[in-house]
Amino acid sequence: MPARTRIELEIEVLQRMGDAHFALGAMSDSALAYETAAARAAEAGLRKTQIEALARLAVPAWYLDPPRGNDICEQAVEESRAHGDPLLLAQTQLATACFRLLYDTWRNQDAETCASARHTIRRLSGPSTPENMFCVYVQAMQGDYEEALKQAEAAMIATTSPAAYLLALGAKILSLMQCGRFGEVLRIVGTGRELAQKMAKIRGSSFFAKPGCGHSASISKGSCD
């Protein structure tokens, strides 16, 4: 196998590991996997892949240490500017602004950056481009509940990533709550608890189970860290 192909495969595996850890609520492990992927991409000169890994790393980093999460976002934006890809830059700017709005303080400047970056993304890649899921959370917070719900449900159907599915499910729950559809929220939570209990039993009986880290807390902030 060519060296470049081997490195690209290694990075892909690390990012999938980060997704899996995130879905299980293991934020520290998720951050470590993404950080390693970003470092390997930087060493190999794969700048676009490095930026994508940094964007993923920012998600658990904001959970664990908001200042570090912000620093990672700034690094991703700077790398995107240097890379010279307008679409990638807009995507990175959008993610950064969304993180600040959701995890730090609501600032009009960040809300305007979200709107501007979203417009650029649609102009460069077309209106059918899937929404950034953190942007869907921002939409719900801004009162655009029905559109946020529509985008969240579409993402849940389309994605094959456990981390992306979890984020979309959270956006759906938030949108339903904002719409006053509490019965649907209770049904989703009830189903999730039942599944979590079943999975906990399976993990408890397996030889590779990790003590002290349950599945049911994966939606909550920093559940297993």
Helix (H, G, I), strand (E, B), or coil: what is residue 212?
Answer: coil
How many domains in the chain?
1
Q: What is the pLDDT of residue 199?
A: 64
186-202 in b/e form (b: 16+ CB < 10 A) is: eeeeeebeeebeeeeee
Q: Tell me whether residue 122 is in a domain.
A: no
Burial of 137 (0-12, 13-18, 19+ CB in 10 A): buried
Q: Tell me whether residue 43 is in a domain.
A: no
| pLDDT tens-place string over residues 184-198 | 989 988 887 777 677
Q: Tell me whether residue 141 is in a domain.
A: yes
Q: 103: which residues sit within 8 A by CB, 6+ positions away? A: 62, 66, 69
Q: Tell me whether residue 182 is in a domain.
A: yes
| pLDDT tens-place string over residues 215-225 | 333 333 444 44
Which domain does 134 fall in, by range?
130-203
The structure tokens listed for 164 are 């992306």
Q: What is the pLDDT of residue 204?
A: 57
Distance of alpha carbon 95 from alpha carbon 61, whole angstroms? 13
Q: With a cut of 50, which residues of the chain have pLDDT below it?
A: 206-225
Q: What is the pLDDT of residue 176?
A: 92
The structure tokens listed for 220 are 């909550």
Q: Tell me whether residue 97 is in a domain.
A: no
Q: Tell me whether residue 108 is in a domain.
A: no
Helix 162-178 and helix 133-141, axial crossing angle in degrees, nearest 10:
10
pTM of the model: 0.75
Q: Tell me whether residue 100 is in a domain.
A: no
State phi, psi for 106 to the nearest 5 degrees: -75, 115
